[in-house]
């Protein structure tokens, strides 16, 4: 008998979500975003499911890009932050990787590159988020410079949205993008998950969905994605390994944060922050226990957490517990814990055994 925690990755859900994305995206091509080890789902586990329906893969690490090539993916691969040094640029040329270009230092490196095979470029415009990218008024000059380089193949205009999950949230960015694109007749890639779902006017040539492929919400609210029929791809499950009968005044866990006000039965679950469960989760955080939603009681430990068994009198040693997944959206847990589903999925700890179905 091993420790009863495991994460289940549902490949059918991922394939289904990609089809739903395609329905939303219309004619636009789809970059499946698989950075952060496919948002914690495991690139190696899920890539072939996505490969059956995607137009390309977008990610951060060149190692992952090279791994995909080695695994047999011949289609487009986009490095979302581009190359980080001249050696990586050489690999972009060699392996046909599309690179984002967001800064002058990358332009200079491209200009100095000796490679003979041209590399496709995503010219990144800073559309107001002020992380990476050229200012709209610089874009035309950068494009001209890129175009004059024999080392550069196709050029696409790329931007990113800071709040596409809010009504009118892309308006300001779209103004800056239109300004940047003035006089340029080149493809555009703008839309993340939120824009794929809620801003069809941003779709253009290539969309870049990440979180919705995994069935979680880009808005941090699970209700917002209900109309789109997405299915959660990851379920984190465990079991009850201990039961405590509390009297009024009894306390639970580190810091004695929880105190019983009456007689109460609690269950001890084999899941802790070292598994990726958020230690900041308060006592209002939902937990699914054997078919019933209940709540956390007390601070999350490294290897354990406690749940209130008052609403589940039938629960006992060995009862199944879902921390998030098909019965309990990760967004609901994240919201209670003051974070977003993205962070919880990406933080699934290496020590958790993963089962692929």
Ligand X SMILES: *Cc1c(COP(=O)(O)O)cnc(C)c1O
What is the binding site for ligand X (CB under 6 A)?
A: 33, 35, 80, 160, 192-193, 208-211, 218
Q: How far is the CB of 80 from ligand X (least distance, A)?
A: 5
Identify which of residues 35 and 237 has a Cβ nearer to ligand X in the complex. Answer: 35
Q: How far is the CB of 197 from ligand X (least distance, A)?
A: 9
Pick the closest to residue 146 from 172, 118, 171 (CA basis): 118
CB 140 within 8 A of CB 184: yes
Pick the closest to residue 255 from 295, 289, 306, 294 (CA basis): 306
CB 307 within 8 A of CB 296: yes
CB 66 within 8 A of CB 96: no
Pick the closest to residue 248 from 261, 266, 234, 229 (CA basis): 261
Q: How far is the CB of 37 from ligand X (least distance, A)?
A: 13
Q: Which residues on adjacent β-strands are paired with residue 235?
A: 8
Of residues 44, 117, 251, 254, which has the active-site annotation?
Answer: 254
Pick the closest to residue 60 from 83, 40, 87 (CA basis): 83
Identify which of residues 231 and 279 has a Cβ nearer to ligand X in the complex. Answer: 231
Question: Catalytic site residue 35?
Answer: yes
Q: How far is the CB of 191 from ligand X (least distance, A)?
A: 8
Identify which of residues 24 and 295 has a Cβ nearer to ligand X in the complex. Answer: 24
Question: Catalytic site residue 214?
Answer: no
Of residues 35, 204, 214, 273, which has the active-site annotation?
Answer: 35
Identify which of residues 128 and 218 has a Cβ nearer to ligand X in the complex. Answer: 218
Q: How far is the CB of 294 from ligand X (least distance, A)?
A: 30
In the chain, what are the helix, strand and coil shares in percent, each to the nearest 5? 35, 25, 45
Pairing of strands 119-124, 152-158: parallel
Helical spans, DSSP H, in the chain: 11-25, 35-39, 43-51, 62-71, 86-95, 104-112, 136-147, 171-181, 193-198, 330-336, 341-346
Q: How far is the CB of 3 from ligand X (least distance, A)?
A: 31
Identify which of residues 260 and 348 has a Cβ nearer to ligand X in the complex. Answer: 348
Identify which of residues 15 and 282 has a Cβ nearer to ligand X in the complex. Answer: 15
Rounded to whole angstroms, the Cα distance separating 261 from 256 reads 13
Which residues touch 302 (CB under 8 Å, ≥6 apart)? 272, 273, 274
Q: Report the catalytic residues.
A: 35, 254
């Amino acid at each position: 008998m091993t420790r009863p925690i495991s994460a289940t990755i549902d490949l059918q859900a991922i394939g289904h979500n990609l089809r739903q994305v395609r329905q939303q995206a219309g004619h636009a091509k789809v970059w499946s975003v698989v950075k952060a080890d496919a948002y914690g789902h495991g690139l190696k586990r899920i890539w072939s499911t996505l490969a059956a329906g995607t137009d390309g893969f977008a990610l951060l690490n060149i190692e992952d890009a090279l791994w995909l090539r080695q695994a047999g993916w011949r289609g487009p691969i986009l490095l979302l932050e581009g190359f980080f040094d001249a050696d990586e640029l050489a690999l972009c040329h060699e392996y046909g990787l599309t690179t984002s270009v967001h800064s002058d230092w990358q332009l200079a490196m491209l200009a100095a590159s000796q490679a003979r095979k041209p590399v496709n470029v995503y010219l990144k415009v800073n559309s107001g988020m002020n992380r990476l990218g050229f200012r709209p008024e610089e874009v035309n000059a950068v494009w001209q410079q890129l175009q004059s380089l024999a080392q550069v193949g196709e050029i696409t205009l790329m931007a990113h949205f800071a709040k596409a999950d809010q009504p009118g949230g892309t308006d300001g960015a779209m103004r800056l993008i239109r300004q940047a694109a003035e006089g340029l007749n080149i493809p555009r890639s703008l839309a993340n998950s939120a824009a794929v779902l809620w801003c069809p006017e941003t779709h253009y040539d290539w969309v870049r969905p990440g979180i919705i492929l995994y069935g979680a919400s880009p808005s941090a609210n699970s209700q917002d994605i209900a109309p789109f029929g997405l299915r959660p791809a990851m379920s984190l499950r465990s079991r009850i390994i201990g039961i405590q009968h509390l009297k009024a005044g009894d306390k639970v866990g580190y810091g004695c944060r929880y105190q019983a006000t009456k007689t109460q039965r609690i269950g001890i679950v084999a899941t802790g922050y070292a598994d990726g469960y958020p230690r900041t989760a308060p006592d209002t955080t939902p937990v699914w226990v054997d078919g019933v939603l209940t709540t956390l009681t007390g601070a999350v430990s490294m290897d354990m957490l406690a749940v209130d068994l008052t609403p589940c009198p039938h629960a006992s040693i060995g009862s199944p517990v879902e921390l998030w997944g098909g019965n309990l959206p990760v967004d609901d847990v994240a919201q209670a814990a003051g974070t977003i589903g993205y962070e919880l999925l990406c933080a699934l700890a290496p020590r958790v055994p993963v089962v692929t179905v």
